[in-house]
Structure 1
Amino acid sequence: MPNKHWADDTDESETGSGTSLCFSNSETSDTDITEPDENFGSISTRSLTPQSKGRTRPPQQPHGGSSAQTTTSAGRAYKDPDIDTTERLSDIDPDFNRADGTKKLKERVIDRWHRFCQKNLEREPDCARWSDPEKALRQASADYGRKLPGYGQAGTFNTDWKYFRIYYQDALGKKMDKEMATSLRTGRQWLIKENELGTQPRDNVPVYIDDMIKFNETILQTRKKRFFLGIQRIMLCLALMLGLFTAGRKNAILKLQYKHLRISLLRNPYDGPPILDIAIKPEYIKSFLGITNLNTFSFPEIILGVSFVFSPHMFIMGLLLHARAFKADIRSIDNVRSLFVMRGCQELPLPLEEAMDDYYLFCRVDMIDGEPQILRDQPMSDSHYNNAIRSISEIIGLLKWFFFHQFRYGTGGILDDTEWVSDSKRNLVLHHADSSTFLKYYRPRQHTDMQEAVLGLKPDKVIGRALTSISRYADKRRPRYLDDTQKALVEDDPELQTAISNRDALLDKFQQTPNPTLEQDVAEAERNIKNTRQRLRYRRKKEVRHAFSDEQAVKDINAQRAGKILPEEDALEESESEDDTPPEQTMLVERLMAVPVEWTLEGEWQRRNIATEVIIMYCDFEEGGPLRGRLKRKRSERDVEGFSKMEANQTEISEDDEQPLKKKCNNQEPRQIPAKPLVCFQCGKKYSQYQSLLRHFRPKHMNDRRCKSCTDGMEYLEQMHWQCHVTAVHQLSI
């Protein structure tokens, strides 16, 4: 049975009886709902059906009859079904079938309106319209007391105003009158100017294939960002591939399910081996009245000339083979290569298990009872995706975080510049009603070919991409964290000092007259200090990252002018590999970034098959979860040389002062440093590195209270005693 998501719709035309329920000649026109005529019973059947002259008609059903009955042209009686009048339009939720994002924005505006009403109630308690607070507020705000983010851009303010109009219309049942709308439009313009909100939209910085290959290579190589399981790295790389190739929205890609995939082997029109084709039909896209026309994107496998780190076939097949999703006996990519298309057919479908139709391609991974689990029936959360993308953006050194809509800027611009792609096809791919939407929101506004156009020269697209891409502002030296000096500046901020003073005053008052109310106030003041410090650090970090480009440029220019940095020294690129990279991740990177040895179809197939098998194996690799704290900065060769010169210039210690120190060191016995353990004393698992053992022990055995390797049988009732035993006896610094 074929997948229902890919099955064609049932034909609207009826066959056999020749009967049609349409009473008009046009089959595509919609019929308006009209009120029944009072004299409907008196209209003769002849006037309704003039073509039926001379035919036998049944007697008219009286008005008091229980049901209407008519006779078809074939002489068969047809009984109309009963009318279900239990549902009313007024009972349907106005937010029915609206997108989740639309509901969230509308709820945010409603919450702010409730806050405003409550403040008005506090200011005017005797006003007659606020005599019934429950009716005025309609519902209490669950987030009362939480600080609002405020507005920085006029676009955000106008977006909230749009959803407030929707709420106004739903609450009153009518649209805002013209005079009120005109006055409020003037008021909005005044508020934007009075509060100095930004009126320029965000720059449409596009991303291209070169940028995303470097992005995926960083995801696969870095150890500065870690996950629970290796499958999370694989899914993150695949999401970026499909986003670039389809120019789709984030929600449409991250909510892809197995029923949205269609895998098949296509007969090669060039008389070669069959071509592996993967088609996707994203379903969770913007729609109007719950109806939309879905696009299907087919990706035939390209064997030569494509980087493995941006080949969706290997990643999708790796994920499907890891989940054992194929209905047939397909357990490896070699099984797929051995198949062929039967004679008389153009393709050989590779159907997936129907029981897995609702499984998500980008699923959730979570810790359950200390073990990482793959929850295929739940989608990857937005928070997990956003945190991972922000971390990778900072590791690469991007000036601003990458966001999914930049795919629509880059791929949409390519479609717009390509001669064989029409405007109608571009609008169809991007789900735009007309070209005005693309020009207003998606077309990049940085023009790089005006000089060539005026001079009559051919525009250089390579330079144009280099000038507009996101990688133009990348610098791996850009700081990811604040240093101690910058943190000290945050501590001296007046806003934070005011919060600390308020906390100290409340604490002194509570110590003099302790009561539960003051205790809650002190706890709230502590939370305010923590949130204020975090907010100021975030703001300071953003300022430091933005100012880094100009400040570092001045340092580099002065160093180059002074001859401290030579071109050949700067050309030496530091290796991306790190000391603690596990062998499983090293093998994954080597196979996906391997250089082809032989330029033959069989050799390339073999290379792709090996890379796919490595992806399957790496899906179950436990990385140990996200890192805790800040990584130690690795010194570059330039820093080491500078440190050595600084040591050489220091004043040497005199011989008189050095002799007692040498004698003291010689009299001491050499200290024996115990070797760090590599085997878990609780479960016996072996690891190649000490850090891997620590990442295993913390979530798995931290709650244990009895040591299985010690024979004393002692039970540690307190976690502190258990940690002391683990550190002192088994040399695990947890």
Structure 2
Amino acid sequence: MRHLQYQHLECSLQRDPKGGPPRIVLEITYEFAKSYFGVTQGNTFIIPETLYDPSLILRPHEFLLGILFDDDAFHAPGIKSMEDLRRLWPENGRQHTERRRIIRDQPISSAILSKQYKTFGEITGFPNLYTHSNRYGGGTILNQSSVVSDAQQNLIMKHANIRTFLKHYLPLRIGTDIQALMRGLEPDSAMMRAVTRMGRWIDTRRPRELTDHQKASVEEIAELQDAIRKRDMFSCKLQQTYKRRRKDKAKLEKLKRNVINTRNRLLYDPRKRVREGFDSSQAVKDIERQLAKGAVAYDDQTKEMLRVRENMLPAADLSLRKVDDMADFWLSGSRVEAKK
């Protein structure tokens, strides 16, 4: 997906079969595969506009159309915003109206896009977001869907057979409520989905940069000092030379880049350790802060659930109390056995 260009994107207005205003439909033709497969026949993915989407920042229409508007990517010069698209309508009984795209000669590189994607993840609070993580999550959703066959899944994922998914994707995390299934209970699918998705680890407090003291400590590392010394010595040598050759200038630029690359590489490891160590250390701080308050700060949804329980009928409340008493009984028995 990092190789996609405007030539792979189609935007059109489609009549809504349920009535109402036309809906914006995006179609992405994916023509790339893994290197040892080579380029295969492209798959076209149809993305109809979702009118009521809980997430605006991850909504593909807002993201892709925002890029198209910003780059003036429509042939029709009058299309500058979403309001302009809303004013259009398929005429003369036609089902759709195409909005052709333009082709850019120099697409953004995969390395730059991957770095921007990772930075986006850090801003939104993800611990480690990379482009392939979406493929893991998407593959799991496809595999669990009852409307997608194994053949369709392999076609979308560009897998030779389903064993590739079983070997490399499924073992990452089991998203099935095994306990409920074994006990004959209804699986808590919503909770299992919540604890296996990437959003579980979001925390915008997670540090993105090192402190000034931490950055200064990197400057004292011998490897970086050696790179700086070589750069400065060669720079002084060139300043004393009357005639500078082209290859000397190229060598100086290479030494400068080596200093920058070495510094960035040495900053990467401590920055990674700080981010990885944040979750456990911050969890202890949060727990101690909440315990010190002496009360639980429930959110609005939890408060409403507690209010409903307080207003239950006596019979229903009695049954809950019996469950609580039963739990206390078993816990007390476990404590006795533990003491023995």
What TM-score bracket applies, with the shorter chain setting the length? 0.5 to 0.7
RMSD: 4.3
Q: Return the alpha-carbon distance in structure 2 between the equivalents of residues 285 and 438 of structure 1.
A: 19
Relative distance call for 1:551 and 1:308 in structure 2 (3 A) is: closer
Sort the Cα spacing of 1:384 and 1:529 in 2 relative to 1 into closer, same or farther, 3 A: closer
Note the 1:106-121 alignment, pairs <5 A.
none
Distance 1:379 1:541, change over 3 A: same
Partner Cα distance (1:561, 1:300) in 2: 48
Amino acid at match of 1:292: T
The reply on whether 1:395 has 2:143 as its aligned counterpart is: no
The question of 1:263 aligning with 2:12 is answered: yes
The 1:392/1:310 distance shift into structure 2, 3 A limit, reads closer
More helix as a share of residues: 2
Q: How does 1:47-126 map to 2 (within 5 A)?
A: none
Which residue is 2:273 aligned to?
A: 543
Question: 1:250 aligned to 2:8?
Answer: no
CA shift in 2, pair 1:482/1:451, >3 Å: same
Q: Return the alpha-carbon distance in structure 2 between the equivalents of residues 289 and 473 of structure 1.
A: 34
Residue 379 of structure 1 is aligned with which of 101, 107, 112? 107
Residue 335 (structure 1) aligns with:
87
Give the number of the structure with larger relative contact order, counting CA–CA contacts within 8 Å between residues 6 or more apart. 1
Partners of 1:527 and 1:418 in 2: CA distance:
49
Within a 5 Å distance, the mapping from 1:147-296 to structure 2 comes to: 249-251=1-3, 254-257=4-7, 260-261=9-10, 263-266=12-15, 268=17, 270=18, 272-273=19-20, 275-276=22-23, 278-286=25-33, 292-296=40-44
Distance 2:231 2:73 in 1: 61
Deviation at 1:546, TM superposition (A): 1.2
Paired AA for residue 106 in structure 2: Q
* Aligned-pair CA distance for 1:465: 2.3
String of CA shifts for 1:339-389, please: whole Å, max 9, x gaps.
Answer: 4552xxxx4331345xx5xx24xxxxxxxxxxxxxxx44323334423322
Q: Write the letter of the residue equivalent to 2:88.
A: V
C-alpha change, 1:463 and 1:480, in structure 2 (3 Å) is same
> Is 2:96 aligned against 1:349?
yes
* CA distances 1:34-92 after superposition (whole Å, capped 9, x unpaired): xxxxxxxxxxxxxxxxxxxxxxxxxxxxxxxxxxxxxxxxxxxxxxxxxxxxxxxxxxx
Residues 722-733 of structure 1 aligned to structure 2 (within 5 Å): none
CA distance in 1, matches of 2:268, 2:12: 45
- 1:326–1:350 contact (8 Å) kept in structure 2: no
Distance 2:221 2:62 in 1: 52
Cross-structure match for 1:726: none
Cα drift, residue 482 of structure 1: 1.4
Shift of 1:499: 5.8
1:557 alignment partner in structure 2: 287
Q: Cα offset for 1:483?
A: 1.2
Which of 1 and 2 has greater Rg? 1
Structure 1 CA distance for aligned equivalents of residues 203 and 48 of structure 2: 36
For 1:257, the aligned partner's letter is: Q
Alignment CA distance shift 1:555-1:493 (3 Å): farther
Match of 2:166 among 439, 446, 465: 439
SS in 2 for 1:541: helix
Would the aligned equivalents of 1:280 and 1:296 in 2 still touch at CA under 8 Å?
A: yes
1:601-649, Cα deviation, whole Å (9 max, x unpaired) = xxxxxxxxxxxxxxxxxxxxxxxxxxxxxxxxxxxxxxxxxxxxxxxxx
AA matched with 1:299: I
Identity of aligned residues (%): 33
Distance in 2 between residues matched to 1:485 and 1:416, nearest whole Å? 48
| Distance across 2 between alignment mates of 1:333 and 1:526 | 49
Whole-Å separation in 2 of the counterparts to 1:329 and 1:490: 53
Query: What TM-score comes out, normalization by structure 2 length?
Result: 0.66
The equivalences for 1:493-532 within 5 A come to: 493-496=221-224, 530-532=260-262
| Structure 2 CA distance for aligned equivalents of residues 333 and 265 of structure 1 | 12
1:556 maps to amino acid: D
Change (3 A) 1:474 1:341: same
Q: Spell out, residue by residue over 1:658-700, the C-alpha distance to the aligned partner (whole angstroms, 9 max, x if none).
A: xxxxxxxxxxxxxxxxxxxxxxxxxxxxxxxxxxxxxxxxxxx
* Aligned partner letter, 1:553: A
Whole-Å separation in 2 of the counterparts to 1:381 and 1:455: 51
- Please state whether the residue corresponding to 1:379 is helix, strand or coil: coil
- Equivalenced residues, count: 286
Q: Distance in 2 between matches of 1:490 and 1:316?
A: 40
What amino acid is the match of 2:166?
L
Work out whether 1:465 is the aligned partner of 2:193. Answer: yes
Give the C-alpha shift of residue 416 in structure 1. 0.8
Q: How does 1:594-673 map to 2 (within 5 A)?
A: none
Counterpart-to-counterpart distance in 1, 2:231 and 2:27: 60
Contact 1:397 1:478 in 2 (8 A): yes
d(CA) in 2 for partners of 1:504, 1:427: 52
- Structure 1 residue 492: deviation in Å? 4.1
Runs of 5+ in structure 1 lacking a partner?
1-248, 361-375, 573-734
Query: Partner residue of 1:415?
Result: 142
Unaligned runs of 5+ residues in structure 2 are 301-340
Deviations 1:383-405 (A, max 9, x none): 442332222222223221x2222
Q: Which residue of 2 aligns with 1:533?
A: 263
Partner residue in 1 for 2:74: 325
- The aligned residue for residue 45 of structure 2 is 297
Structure 1's 426 and 466: CA in aligned 2 closer, same or farther, altered over 3 A?
Answer: same
Q: Displacement, 1:417? A: 0.9
1:503–1:526 CA contact under 8 A, matched in 2: no
Partner residue, 2:210: 482
Give me the whole-angstrom Cα distance separating, in 1, the residues matched to 2:86 and 2:257: 58
**Which residue identity lines up with residue 285 of structure 1 in the other structure?**
F
Conserved? CA contact 1:487–1:537, under 8 Å: yes
Query: Deviation per CA, 1:109-160, whole angstroms, max 9, x where unpaired?
Result: xxxxxxxxxxxxxxxxxxxxxxxxxxxxxxxxxxxxxxxxxxxxxxxxxxxx
- Any conservation in 2 of the 1:341–1:348 contact (CA below 8 Å)? no
- Distance in 2 (CA, whole Å) between partners of 1:318 and 1:414 is 27
Residue identity matched to 1:433: A
1:495 positional shift: 4.0
Aligned-partner residue type, residue 174 of structure 2: H
- Superposed displacement of residue 433, structure 1: 2.2
Paired amino acid for 1:335: R
Q: What SS does the aligned partner of 1:296 have?
A: strand
Q: Within 1, Cα distance between the matches of 2:138 and 2:148?
A: 12
